Structure 1
């Protein structure tokens, strides 16, 4: 058996600036994810820990540390190295949810982003100092944004734009609260709110207007165009419609 990957890489050429992802069936019969990188291919399991390992005989390092915390009680504390292990594991889930997002697997993105958000909460609770806690918490706004996008996209697939809009509004509010609570007003934190805000504007354009909204829009245009007789007719129509409702 040859260990040379040249043929595989040649058949799937790298394209700079493109996130290239595909699903394959492994030799074990299980579905796997592959992410094309400039220097090769990153392969991940679809479920469980992305690298397929089971540290300490359980599914994840987070599960292991959670069990330790429950057994130890109030005196439990994460060392700097243990926080580093949890963060490294979180990076694996980051790569996978990015790949799943590219494939439109919204449920998978929701699962993996929630898992990392749970890890951030765990580290914030048990880290030995604020600096260690912030080493992972600093990524919370981004992961919250990706979680929100996945949930909203799932709603859009079900033709529920209203639900998608509410989810994005909720996500923006939650990120804003986190930024305010942690006094982190830098550009990196604000970028997630800006990104979701721009998407929210686009989503609102997809929402069908009510009869009242349509008349108001037409009235605004009539006034702008100085079509005052038409504007008067529209005002009367609005009053009549509002009385009925």
Structure 2
């Protein structure tokens, strides 16, 4: 009992020291730190009493299973070794526990890319959604059907977030036409996924993908198209010499999208 109290005290003292050293700033609740191995760690303080940390690359918890950046990377290497040995991937399999491990890791990655979308780290969102899509595809090909659909049913959402990240990256560079092209291509991909769901009798998955995720992209594209039209109108005003101060302010205040996901 005394040993437990001593251990608990050391833990609390360490946490107190960390919170004191971070000097909570209500205006800057998110901090990004670089550590000795070159990785970035994002610290989130919602208030003066709590602290969360997310590693920006690899696994969100910073662990390196089997010396790899993630379990996904480790199992992909196992797949490549199997193909080298057998000349095909036919017969490759993972255990039920392996799939559970991959799914838990994918959920942590989902939490990270959802948070990163909120602070507009779109390159990270793009990377993480691509990885989770790859996990879903791996499961669809090699896992038993019911096990595979535990994650594959969420592929529509992953695709939507990946497409949004691509469009946001294009908009960051001021290329609205490219952003709309990314969305158009992405909606075609989601359409094919919806068709796959219908062929496999997953009407419920198809319905939520079409009604929610596809419609979100349609709305985002419409918003971007509206902004592009307003920008074109501003250029026309410049050419005609019309006073545009109020119009410029409206453009500056434009929201790209809201309420997605």
Q: TM-score, normalised by structure 2?
A: 0.69
Structure 2: distance between partners of 1:177 and 1:41: 42
Unaligned runs of 5+ in 2: 1-9, 84-89, 237-261
Larger Rg: 1
Residue 191 to residue 75, structure 1, CA distance change in 2 (3 Å): same
Answering whether residue 136 of structure 2 is matched by residue 136 of structure 1, we say no
Please report how far the alpha carbon of residue 34 of structure 1 lies from its aligned counterpart in structure 2 after TM superposition. 2.8
Unaligned runs of 5+ in 1: 14-19, 215-245
**8 Å contact kept, 2:39–2:57:** no
RMSD between aligned residues: 2.9
Q: Secondary structure in 2 aligned to 1:104?
A: coil
After superposition, the C-alpha distances for 1:9-58 in whole angstroms (9 at most, x for unaligned) are: 99478xxxxxx962332664753113457994331111222111111222
Structure 1: distance between partners of 2:70 and 2:18: 33
Number of aligned residue pairs: 205
Give the equivalent residue in structure 1 for 2:196. 181
Q: Which moved more, 1:142-151 or 1:59-68?
A: 59-68
Residue 21 to residue 113, structure 1, CA distance change in 2 (3 Å): farther
- Aligned match for 2:54, one of 44, 47, 61: 44
- Aligned match for 1:202, one of 223, 229, 235: 223
* 1:101-180 pair list within 5 angstroms: 101-127=117-143, 129-180=144-195
Q: TM-score, normalised by structure 1?
A: 0.73
Q: Which has the higher contact order (CA 8 A, sep 6+)?
A: 1
* 1:48-127 pair list within 5 angstroms: 48-73=58-83, 74-127=90-143
Please report how far the alpha carbon of residue 72 of structure 1 lies from its aligned counterpart in structure 2 after TM superposition. 2.7
